[in-house]
Amino acid sequence: MVQALVTNGCGETELFAPAIEPFNPMTARRPAARPEGASAPPAAPPADPAARAAAMRARMNSPEVKKAREDLRQWRLSTPMDYFKGVAKKFQDAGVRIDAYTQNYRDDYTDEEIEKTFEQCKALGCSVIATSTQMPMAKRLLPMAEKHKLVVAFHGHSNTKDPNEFATPESFQAVTSMSKYFKINLDIGHFFAAGFDPVAYIQEHHELITHLHVKDRKKNDGPNTPWGEGDTPIQAVLVLLRDKKYPIPALVEYEYRGTGTPVEEVQKCMDFMKKALA
């Protein structure tokens, strides 16, 4: 992972927790070295949303996933902070700054487990925890953020129908009003696909935004696309950050189905950004 960032010329990144945690079938992601005896990741989910939801429910209730979830919890509770300091050193030695540590909190996290993730964030040298979660979890995260004096940046999606989701300007206003430690990880692709203008929003609320996820999506909750083929105003956002000198990192989020390797596709995104600012 570190070498890929160096190859792409990335000087900063957001570190997704599953990249440094043991393999967990719930995430459908594999670390650099899969633990001995771990099963292979599941097949790609069905395209139909209803079938995908049913498959997810079945998987979450499987004995394998339940055991993996408990094993992961115990790993989080028992792993010494020196492990995370060692991870941080690898990034530091390569000249890559970790802007945020991402933990996607679910309601099955225990309070002790949540607190450990805040301690891990500190050990990584981060001051920001990014999370894709829901409003009920924000209430549980509040005392931890206040205790540890760490910013929690809430990542938005495009589901504007669920009142517990972070997607609308109103939902972001509600969560950031809860604490000075609650901020926004604005995903400009999701925000635009949900029907909102990321340029205007950044202008008005830039002091609440820790960092951006940059991706291209079609409008009206359309799909992810290769950059330049969607409707998201990526160039306008980047120019705004540059011209206004907002200290907001704009991080590539590679989510479309590319034809090359992840390194090759991220490089295309990096080149797109450079051209947009030329």
CATH number of the 2-28+48-276 domain: 3.20.20.150
Two tokens, residue 109:
């996290």
173 with 152: CB under 8 angstroms?
no
| Alpha-carbon gap, residue 161 to 168, rounded angstroms | 10
Residues 96-144: tens digit of each pLDDT: 999 999 999 999 999 999 999 999 999 999 999 999 999 999 999 999 9
Q: Amino acid identity of 137?
A: M
Q: Which parts of the chain register pLDDT below 70? A: 23-50, 52-53, 56
Alpha-carbon gap, residue 269 to 15, rounded angstroms? 18
- pLDDT, residue 26, reads 59
Asked if residues 239 and 276 have their Cβ atoms less than 8 Å apart, the reply is yes
What residue spans define the domains of the chain?
2-28+48-276
Give pTM, 2 decimals.
0.87
**215 neighbors 188 (Cβ within 8 angstroms):** yes
